[in-house]
Structures are given as structure tokens and as C-alpha cells.
Structure 1
């Protein structure tokens, strides 16, 4: 698999590196981390930096448990401001360069009846990912390193039980590659958001959070016009089927704690660190 910056790096190596950072702590040296992965320090640093764009030592700082609080203090996006600044719209999203379309409430109520959903497994910077798409675009991205492939498959299929599912990873490969490619001026993958009306509103709010920044569940509740619905917002965030592209990982608790993450908190931590590092690289 390519090791160039901007391309998915072999997740097994990165996951072992993350585990080593967590186990050895922020004071671990490059030599100690490299030894954990049975690599020379120079080789480990070169491969690691190619994946994330910063050194292992710098990445340790992003993975620290206190990083979420610091991120919230320094890069807290107020969604009302983002909307007023024109960072969202019904067509192209200026931050992620996505085009999306929401399923009608009637279609959603029919449980995906009449839809053909193609699916397949792929690699990503955050581990194996289960991808799903309709003819209108990606409708599911589930990271399976924590939950397992069968559980992720059952989770997504249960959301649209009346749909027809066809395994076709090759058809999904271009969209998955675009999902994790560096941001640029060209069009990215199209999304087909399949959910209830309130869920769609919450996911629209998530799409207004720029990469490398975060917001809070209470901010999202205000942005969707229901400031008291923090708990309902949290549920809708957790039900987001298109992880990473609809960036539910950028939603934190008011105190800066990570909160939950449907596909596992280690994946959420890795996403926040990866984005923050690339934003400064």
C-alpha cells in the first residue's frame, strides 16, 4: 500500500503506534516507540511522518487526553458564525468539497425500500472501513477496528432494512479514495444522507464544522433551532452513518471531554489528532 503523505497508511502500524503512545505515555522517546514496533527509529519516524505530516513526538501531543480540551479552547467553531460566513449550502460544501442529497422523509419511512445499496470493505487512515453507496452517493462509512465487520454491517443494514444490498467494493473504490484524499479545489465524493428530518438537520450542522476545528453538542442544538435538545442531538450525532465525512468526531462535550463515538473512542481520538496535525503541517 502506498506510504506517501495524503494516502492511506497501513493502519496496523498506526494502531500499534497509537497503542504504544497510550501505554508508554507522552514522555516516551522515539527509540522506545520504534522498539515497540520493531523498527529502527529513523525508519519509524520516516513512515510515521509520511502518514500524518508531523513527527511522532508532535503527534503524541495531539493524542494526549487533554488535547480535546485545548482544541475546544483554541478552535471552537460557533456554527451560527460558520453559517453566516457562507460555509454551508445545499450544494457544494466549501470546506469538504462534497455534494450531498438528503433522502425524502417518505423514502426514509419506507426503510430504504426500492434502494439498491452497494457495499464493500476498504482501507483508510483509521483502519478498515465498511463503505456503502446508493446511485446518488455514499450513504455509509463505518470503521470496524473496534466494533468488528459483522457488527458494523448489521448496524448499517438495520437502518435501511428494506434496501437491496449488493457487495461491490470495486464500484465504491473511487469514492472511498476521494473521501480520505487531501482537500483540494476539485469535487469530492457525493453523499446520500439517509435519515429522519431531525437527524438530517443535525448532520447538516456537522457538515459546517471545518476540518481541524470542533464544536459542542449544545452549539449544535442551538444551530438546529432547539437549544434544549442536547440529548437528542447527541443521539442524532451517534446515528450518523457517514463517519468522518459527516464529521461527528468534531462534536465534544462542553467541558472538552470527547463524549462518545459510535465506532469507538480510539478512532475518534485518531481522527481529531490526524486533522489537527494536518491543519498545522
Structure 2
């Protein structure tokens, strides 16, 4: 009976979050810096929950690197060299192989941006690692011009900035901005581990129940709260934890 309950559970994960989307800023990649500042303008109420960035490890060895994430309300223009104008969101650490690759950030905290509002972000790394970006030599090339947009969010051309130094202007962030809207439609939730399995009643399952959440185009969605719920009829049981929050790969488990 418990095995039947667990199998059903995989199909009854609650979509208890706002609808998540991803704004993709495509290549070319033709320049890089240890830091990049850029603005986003919300066209509807959104909450920024994560990034995937094009990175390059300039060393010849695999290394663990820490990246800082800062933000400010309004544009970054005029505040490139003023650390006090920025609020640190925290840092994230992950391993990079030598050379270029795309890396997902585990966002330390979500940032809400109301419709019509502009929010600036600063991604910064150590000297041995660079953020790859697009040197804007073709229209729209101006600093602050819209790089790419969807119905909810617009990304604007930013600046390459090292340690709050002099900005190198009109550089476009290349990567993905993951955000949530206030819609209630669910994204795709896939059970990836822990089902089916069975256990004696009142005994813990041997393996964790794990899921993956993806949004538009199959993009993994970090920072999404997933609620696990048992069917309303049939065999049932209690979980040690009823919710989990997805990581940078869009995965979590209970």
C-alpha cells in the first residue's frame, strides 16, 4: 500500500509557486571582465531568482571560485564606482573547469521588481575568472539600450567593471535571467529519484524523493518552493519535510 502511495505522490506535487520564466540573452561572446553591471526593467511585477552566466576560467586547472552578487534599485549608471550605493545579496561558490562554460548561480535571495521599475545587478569574480559578454558594436549599442526583452522583463546594455573601477560601457550580459511572475500556472515538475519505493509503515524511506523543476525551453529554475502532498484517498503517510527549494540545477529533495 505504501508503495502505491509513493508512486501516486510523484504525480501530485503541488505547483505552489508563482510561474517561473527565463529571459535569454544570446551570444556572440567577444569580450570579458571580472565583473559586469547591468539593469533590468520589469514590464510586469517580477521577482528575479537566479542567473546562468557565460564564464571563463583563465587558469589551466579545475578550481573552486566564489562570486559576489550585488544589487541596487534603479540604474547602475552613475554608481559604477560607489560601493556604498550597492546592497550585497551574498555570494555563491562553484567549481569551474579550465576554459569557457555556462554556470548557474544559486541565488542567495530573490529580488522583487515592480512593473515599471528598474533594478541593477553587479556580478563580480576573482581575477582568475571572467564573465564573458557581448561588446556592443552593432545596434542597439548604446549603454542602457534594451539588449533583449520578453513580455515581462527587459535586459539593458551594461558595463564591464572590475572592483568598482572605471566602467567599460555598452557591454551586454550574455546568459539567462530566471524570474517569477504572479501567474499561477505550474512549470514542469519531474520526479528524478525516490519513486517507486516501499517501506514498512512508520519507517523512513531508504531514498530521498527528488524532483527537477524547469521553465520555458527546459531551463532549470532555482529558488522554487516545491510542496509534496499525498493523495486524498488511499494509503498515506507523513514525510519528514513537506517542502524543498530548488538549487541552481532546478532540483531539490525531501
Q: TM-score range by the shorter chain?
A: under 0.3
Structure number with larger C-alpha Rg: 2
Answer 1 or 2: higher relative contact order, Cα 8 Å, separation at least 6. 2
Flag the structure with higher helix content.
Answer: 1
Structure with a larger share of its residues in strand: 2
